[in-house]
Amino acid sequence: MTNSTLPRAGLIGAAAFCMATTAALAGFGDVVSSFAVKGECLPAALAYNGAYVVSSDPGSFSDDHWKVWSEEGSILASFLPPRGLEIHDGAAFDGTNYWGSSYIQNTVYSMNTTGSILTSFPRTRTYGLTWDGQYLWTSDAGGNNELCRHTTAGSVVSSFPVPQPFALACDLGWDGAYLWAPDSRGYVYRLTTTGTIVASFDPPGMRTSGCTFDGTYLRLSCFPGSGPWHIYTIDVGPLPAVAPASLGRVKALFR
């Protein structure tokens, strides 16, 4: 991470592969399963491509590749965005292509599944990113501290200031009806599209970075306090009435 004062900063411990599963699911906010990421990986942002969780990875900590993870924690495939763009602060999948945001470049990019840039639009200090089936949502880490809904060309359709006690959103997820956002103080919030907090929980680990929804569970990347980062599967209760539009057929995985 290029800014050590922001919540994704921290020491990345020596890698050790492990898989943990909670046998009995107790309810909202509970861990269903988890795995430790391999190598000096930092899953800064998460997307779900209809079959697998995908993470971005800042080059300042690792190799800058986006990675496709199996449920057991092995890397199934990866790709490298153009060098120097630092596309890892937000991640989303629109059913065909990936979207990534760069806080350093002040830009949101669309990429195909091999990492080639397709389109882009300027967006100042964006961290979180998600796709709701029609629009992109971003979290603004600048002076406005707001969540914005955009067209794929970058035009702002709507926005709302981050509600109290919410702080900076590290990443965003969309479950078909609500936004999900981990904040810089460690909590994870479920929000309406106008900014009302409807639920929250304290996630596992000391620091949460990535967030996405897989059609059933919320996925979070968290630093547990020592050792490698983990990607967690979290129960967030019954599915919303509207199915996530971005969870369609996967057209291609990274090769």
Between residues 207 and 39, which one has the greater pLDDT?
207
Rounded Cα distance between 181 and 167, Å, is 10
pLDDT in tens, 3-51: 333 333 332 222 222 333 333 345 899 999 999 998 778 899 999 999 9
| Token pair for 137 | 């949502």
- The domains of the chain are located at 19-234
Q: Which residue has the tokens 């449920």?
A: 71
Rounded Cα distance between 84 and 86, Å, is 6
pLDDT in tens, 47-66: 999 999 999 988 666 778 99
How confident is the model at residue 166, as a pLDDT? Answer: 76
Radius of gyration of the chain (CA): 16
Share of the chain above pLDDT 90, in %: 60
202's CB contacts (< 8 A; 6+ apart) are: 29, 186, 187, 188
CB atoms within 10 A of CB 150: 20
Tell me which residue of 88, 63, 80 sits closest to 2, measured CA to CA: 88
Q: Which residue has the tokens 């959103």?
A: 169
**Is residue 224 within 8 Å of 206, Cβ to Cβ?**
yes
CB atoms within 10 A of CB 207: 19
Rounded Cα distance between 68 and 95, Å, is 15
Look up residue 147 and give its amino acid.
L
Q: What fold, for 19-234? A: Neuraminidase (2.120.10)
Task: Decide: residue 22, CB within 10 A, 0-12 exposed, 13-18 middle, 19+ buried.
Answer: middle
How confident is the model at residue 185, as a pLDDT? Answer: 76
Look up residue 119 and give its amino acid.
T
